[in-house]
Amino acid sequence: MKKFNYENLEKLTLNQEIVNILLEINKFQSKNDLLSNAKNPVLKKYLKSAKFNSITTSNQIEGIKTSNYRMEKIISSPDVKPKNHPESEIIGYKKVLEMINDNYENIATIPHHILQLHKILFSFSFQKQFGYKKIDNFIKITFPDKTEKTRFIPSDAYSTPQHMEELCQTFNLHFHNPKINPLIASLNFILDFLCIHPFTDGNGRISRLLTTLLLYKNDHIIQKFISFEQIIEETKESYYDVLFESSQNWHENQNDPLPFIQYMLNVILQTYQKMDFNQIQQSSQTALQQITNYFNNSIIQTNKATLIKKFPHISPTTIKLYLHKLVKVKYILKVGNGKATTYIKNPQRNAIK
């Protein structure tokens, strides 16, 4: 009989690689303040790209696709109408993702809210599939010759409502347990959700949407700027392998969640690593601060062309203006004339006055 006992997570022995990944994630998480400036133009580009990639790749994993042109239109237009069944499900996914991004504080990990998210996912679909599964489902693998083999048997339809209730109860009870890393508990929740497979369709997509939600609950916001779904899509063979490995003996309460947890932690770490925090920090500063800091950290002569290439978001006219200003106050020194002109930090100046 399946039991959801998250106290067992206290006894998990984490290998050194998992420990190192968690430490690296914590280091990156300490930079969250850099991601909080909604007016930052570089962050706006990250936001737009992440939304497109998250919606596109999460659906592609399930074989749901449309053209890039239509995808751009679906994502950018609030009232776009679907032209076919795949587009109806993509629009539903967009709506759920937007709801989580904008209102995650008010979405709880309880069955009622998860059912609501699933309902919204299919609310634009031509085939309404609301609620828990009514008949048993099976996770199968399809071979190149189109033959199939059952890979995993999830919770049966009769047990699903009870399993979802028990899963949410035990997770919420232990999420703030100081003896359990909340990120470990969250990823174990995603694994258990996938093993229950509570819906006839949409389980994979809902699992990734719930991952987004739980990352927010863990005070991570990187998923809003870099798509972790894209990383899963690029490594989906490994994803399915660790999911299979961690689901073995799940019904008997003897499964090992660590392969799945380690994979997902790696995905989260890679998501952080894709973010250029130095660029974000620079773009949060004024143009003058960025140019000044460049000279602070450089010991070689620099010409205007190098600065224009270094700071493409600052106009050449502005760069020329601030070079003139910094020379005038003797913060930097001008070397040469005409096209051969270069600039270097004045070693006798520590600050602009």
- What letters, b where the CB count within 10 A reaches 16 and e where it falls short, cover 268-277? bbbbbebbee
Q: Rounded distance, CA 198 to CA 200, Å?
A: 7
Model pLDDT, residue 351: 54
The DSSP symbol for 344 reads E
In this model, does residue 293 exceed pLDDT 90? Answer: no
Q: 216 labelled as ligand-binding?
A: no
Exactly one of 118, 163, 174, 197 is catalytic; which is it? 197
**CB neighbours of 33 closer than 8 A, spacing ≥ 6?**
none
pTM for the model: 0.82
**Helix/strand/coil (H/E/C) assignment for every residue in 236-281:** HHHHHHHHHHHHCCCCCCCCCCHHHHHHHHHHHHHHHHCCCHHHHH
| Overall average pLDDT of the 227-236 stretch | 98
Q: Measure the CA–CA gap between 121 and 127, rounded to whole angstroms.
A: 11
Question: Catalytic site residue 197?
Answer: yes
Q: What is the assigned CATH class of domain 16-278? A: mainly alpha
Region 253-270: what's the mean pLDDT?
Answer: 98
- Closest by CA to 286, choosing from 274, 294, 277, 275, is 294
33 vs 344 pLDDT, higher one: 344
Tokens 């070693």, residue located: 347
Q: How confident is the model at residue 284 (pLDDT cuts 50, 70, 90)?
A: low
Q: In this model, does residue 353 exceed pLDDT 50?
A: no
Question: For 77-86, 244-253, 255-264, which range has the lowest pLDDT when averaged over its residues?
Answer: 77-86
| pLDDT surpasses 90 at 113 | yes
208 is in an annotated binding site: yes
Residue 331 in marked binding region: no
Domain with CATH 1.10.3290.10 in the chain: 16-278
Q: Which DSSP string do the residues of 214-228 spell out, in sequence order?
A: HHHHTT--GGGTS-H
Q: Is 338 annotated as a binding residue?
A: no
% of residues, the chain, pLDDT over 90:
78
pLDDT score for 148: 84
Spell out the residues 6+ positions from residue 276 whose beta carbon is closer than 8 angstroms to its own: none
Residue 51 CB-half CA count within 13 A? 22
Start-end of CATH 1.10.10.10 domains in the chain? 286-345
The answer to whether 172 is a known ligand-binding residue is: no
349 is in an annotated binding site: no
State mean pLDDT over 219-237: 97
At the top level of CATH, the class of 286-345 is: mainly alpha
204 is in an annotated binding site: yes
16-38 average pLDDT score: 92
For the residues of 164-207, what is the DSSP string, one character each?
Answer: HHHHHHHHHHHTT-TTS-HHHHHHHHHHHHHHH--SSS-HHHHH
Compute the average pLDDT of residues 252-268.
98
